[in-house]
Structure 1
């Protein structure tokens, strides 16, 4: 077995408190000899690190991982951790001389916030025209989702949810700005751009279907819609950024992202069950041909149906390395003629009427 592949076999990778060795089972004296505690500022590329803190307290996907970039080291140094553990059987070692040869650098006091400071001010500015407000909100929202995808900690998810509530209020109460938001769509298919597009489309459709009914928590729905692709942070970046169609193995990994997203939100306890269902079901199809569960018909939650329609529409109208941008009217035509069996007919027809009033073809 190649040592570099050992990490995926760990059950609870904190050796002194119960690490599981892939070949020897529970930690034994030999295993413990491979574990060292070093100053965080002494981390180097190629080291296999364990962060001795709750997963919810940092911005990494796992507590244990191989250091592959300087940015990972910088994030650890900027955190509250002064020391970390490294496993020398899985990565690079550090000599005692290296540990003690220089003092720790000072830790910067300020860390970039996940939510741009100008977002709330723009939303609440009464002097901005609806068009300018829509453009600014979209720009800030894309920056926010990009930051979250890079640092998807529980704290950051909570901050983003608060900001999404402000965006939801704007969409629900300001029809003119909402129409501009639907018109000013970015066609770049980066995950964070797609998240914003689908979030705005889905909230607008939910508004059209439910109005301001107290039986539907639009803030929670908005968070579910914006965070529908959060699980992609656990998919290999080479797959996310591949400039072509995925092979069978890559596609199998990509199909796991709804499960990953649902699990992240369950672990962080940031959304209620109905809203987490959006994340889990946004790739399900009414005829049962979707994933990850292959459920169909009434087994798909109405909120999942809303998000699935917005998700497909944005995928069709976005530029991909292997296909050009499709005009909105053409995308709707294909969805109606070739894909209608994937969707709930009434919800799709309401989506068409929504875009007919707002989207420029």
Structure 2
């Protein structure tokens, strides 16, 4: 399978990876032949990249770390939890949220088990899943990234559980933000932005008095938009006052926001997201957390076309678990000339060779 930009998709191409809707049903099955109508529909859904089957990518497999069934079940539980809390009134909110938090804890346990048993860097195919409301998918993925970072930083199981639950509930305060603001396709007004920022404070107030939920979960919600240099919100605190768990959730939150489709912005590829986050390392984000993220996630997903510093072009065939930045490639072009026979290049064994750019619009 080859990762390709929607701008380069042509009729008669064959879809390599199923696209799912928010109910866990296939929107477009792998193996489907692409038509002009399908291309138009994918563009309307703001899908930026798809996987297609090509001769060049034969034998290349793309598997998400977390299965479709686990993801769909988790997102369904997150949506249910948010909706139940949103529809609760007065003193009943705390009781309801307490019960929902216990349900979500089981999801965190399952994700921890999956990550602990996987030797591969984390692969998340966010374009393969479409949801009517971004907040639920986002909450799931922030939890997944946060747990991967925490595991890389050698937090123990109990600490990871708190971090995971804090990440899963970091946006719970958005239930108090008007839907018109959450789903606004354009830039928020100053007043709307101030209302949006209050979600961190409201999330803290919702979570801080729950009996079965550690207070640190509430602090993840409260501080995930704070930045080391004091430029964040809602309180503008600096590095020494931000809890280490919240520093993890902050990085995971931004990484997912950059790598996901939004109504007002196109997604970026993982390596592009990591480059942006690295620019803020030590200023906005904790350096150790940023480095842990870089070691935890796939930079160049399998099926990605890349151009090297020596003018060779190849496609990523598999990852190197010890260093996600340097995958194995299938080289098919040298100095602008297509090779009669491809060959494999392991970037771990070629330290002088570097990936310069990705080529998602490359088609033969």
TM-score, normalised by the number of residues in structure 2: 0.57
Secondary structure in 2 matching 1:162? helix
Is the contact made by 1:224 and 1:271 (CA closer than 8 Å) also made in structure 2?
no
The residue number in structure 2 matching 1:190 is 134
SS in 2 for 1:243: coil
Deviation for aligned residue 1:285: 0.4
Question: Could you say which residue in structure 2 is the equivalent of 1:354?
Answer: 296
> Where do 4+ consecutive residues of structure 1 move more than 6 Å?
none
Aligned position for 2:80: 147
**1:209 alignment partner, one of 133, 153, 163:** 153
Structure whose residues are more often helix by fraction: 1
- How far, CA to CA, are the matches of 1:339 and 1:261 in structure 2? 26
The Cα of 1:334 is off from its aligned counterpart by 1.8
Q: Is the 8 A contact 1:317 1:328 kept in 2?
A: yes
Matched with 1:267 is 209
Q: Is the 8 A contact 1:183 1:358 kept in 2?
A: no
**Change in CA separation of 1:245 and 1:270 when aligned onto 2, cut-off 3 Å:** farther
> Using a 3 Å threshold, how does the CA distance of structure 1 residues 291 and 131 change in structure 2: closer, same or farther?
closer
Q: What secondary structure sits across from 2:263 in the alignment?
A: coil
> In 2, Cα distance between the equivalents of 1:310 and 1:285?
13
The structure with higher relative contact order (CA 8 Å, sep 6+) is: 2
Q: Which runs of 5+ in 1 are unaligned?
A: 1-115, 117-129
1:309–1:343 contact (8 Å) kept in structure 2: yes
Instruction: Evaluate the alpha carbon distance shift between residue 341 and residue 132 of structure 1 in structure 2; reply closer, same or farther with a 3 A threshold.
Output: closer
Q: Contact (CA 8 Å) 1:183, 1:359: kept in 2 or not?
A: no
Q: CA deviation at 1:168?
A: 2.3
Matched pairs, number? 229
How has the CA–CA distance of structure 1 residues 132 and 250 changed in structure 2, closer, same or farther, with 3 Å as cutoff?
A: closer
2:271 alignment partner, one of 329, 340, 347: 329
* 2:70 aligned partner: 137
Contact 2:207 2:218 in 1 (8 A): yes
What is aligned with 1:84?
Answer: none
Residue in structure 1 matched with residue 224 of structure 2 by the alignment:
282
* Equivalent residues of 2:177, 2:195 under 8 A apart: yes
Distance 2:234 2:197 in 1: 6
1:142, CA displacement in angstroms? Answer: 1.4
Deviations 1:303-325 (A, max 9, x none): 11101001111111111222111
* Cα distance in structure 2, aligned partners of 1:168 and 1:292: 30
Gaps of at least 5 residues in structure 2 are: 1-23, 25-62, 86-95, 305-364
Equivalence map 1:64-213=2 (5 Å): 134-152=67-85, 153-154=96-97, 155-171=99-115, 173-176=116-119, 179=121, 182-186=123-127, 190-211=134-155, 213=156
Q: What is the TM-score normalised by the length of structure 1? A: 0.58
| CA drift at 1:340 | 5.2
Deviation string 1:61-94 (CA, Å, 9 cap, x unpaired) is xxxxxxxxxxxxxxxxxxxxxxxxxxxxxxxxxx
Query: Is 1:344 aligned to residue 277 of structure 2?
Result: no
Partners of 1:354 and 1:260 in 2: CA distance:
31
Which residue does the alignment assign to 1:68?
A: none
Offset from partner CA, 1:151-175 (integer Å, 9 cap, x none): 123222322223322322332x211
Q: Greater share of strand residues, 1 or 2?
A: 2
Name the structure 1 match of 2:183. Answer: 241
2-structure distance, mates of 1:131, 1:316: 18
Computing the radius of gyration over CA atoms, which structure comes out larger, 1 or 2? 1
